[in-house]
Amino acid sequence: MGKIAALTMVRNDDFFLGKWTEYYGSLLGKDNLYIFFDGEDQRVPSCTQGCNVSVIPRVSGNVRISDKNRINILSAKAASLLAEYTMVIGTDVDEFLTVDPALGVELPEFLLRQDIQGRNSLSGLGCDVIYDPSDSPLDESKPLLAQRRSALLSTRYTKTSVLCAPVQWGSGFHRTRKGDFHICEGLFLFHFGCADPSILGQKQADADLVSRGWSRHLSKRRRIIDTFPSLKYRDWESWTRKARRIQSCVRQIHLWNKPAMFNMKVKVRVPERFSSLF
């Protein structure tokens, strides 16, 4: 049986880092987690005990340049790990790759069962978890999907999250430089960047992020939260099947290996069977 590693890079995000290390550590073992701290001014929290931690000099540049430089570091690390591991999971610290609990199988077993012949990556269907006005602030002591059940089916978060070969990721893990997507049936990537307006507000007020050009991206997240209540809920089971089929076939005009979905905004309620995962 093969082995799987997971890696991420983080700066000033202890809330999601705690969730990330707990979730992937429980599945893969903390000794198979690789965490980069962006900046030598960062405090390494206790949740990383047992993980492989690297504190590196702050990755310089504006949002576009620094994102590219960060992913270059993570791609190089993944390439070296693939000499020892069968696969490497790469996600942002607020992203969680999971198998539908209805399948009755854990993430590592699911991934290692996949046919990777001729493929350099595997992807889960992207689910952008969005704050609803009826939601309470996120509580770190409770599972995330027990507190947030609303999401958009998102091409942006259908990422090349699992590398099976030492190829270069595009910024943010959104694609690989070589090869197309393989969106696995029953596999999902949940993103929580829009799950709490107070956490988002802290980022919008961060002078360092503002100086690096993050304001536009964070404002876009705020607009998603503001317009979300006006959308109608669609059926999870039927629309996740439809979205997976569409994204497996349709590509963005300017990027042949990034999935598209005709700009549809599909709002769904995540089934309760997911609520205790992370």
pLDDT at position 149: 97
pTM score: 0.97
Write down the residue that tokens 């829009």 correspond to.
194
Spans of the chain, pLDDT less than 50: none
pLDDT at position 255: 76
Structure tokens given for 63: 């949002």
Sign, Cα dihedral of 44, 19, 35, 31: positive
pLDDT at position 260: 93
pLDDT at position 1: 75
pLDDT at position 195: 97
Cα–Cα nearest to 195, from 147, 162, 160:
147
pLDDT at position 252: 84
Give the separation between CA 49 and CA 29, rounded to whole angstroms: 11
pLDDT at position 35: 98
How would you classify residue 211: left for phi > 0, otherwise alpha for psi between -120 and 50, otherwise beta? alpha
pLDDT at position 253: 80
Strand-pair category, 4-10 with 33-38: parallel
CA distances from 257 to 31, 95, 123, 154, 169 (A): 33, 21, 12, 15, 12
Q: What is the mean pLDDT of the chain?
A: 96
Burial zone of 18 (CB within 10 Å; 0-12 exposed, 13-18 middle, 19+ buried) = middle
Structure tokens given for 184: 């696995």
pLDDT at position 208: 86
Cα–Cα nearest to 200, from 180, 228, 179, 220:
220
How would you classify residue 178: left for phi > 0, otherwise alpha for psi between -120 and 50, otherwise beta? beta
pLDDT at position 256: 77
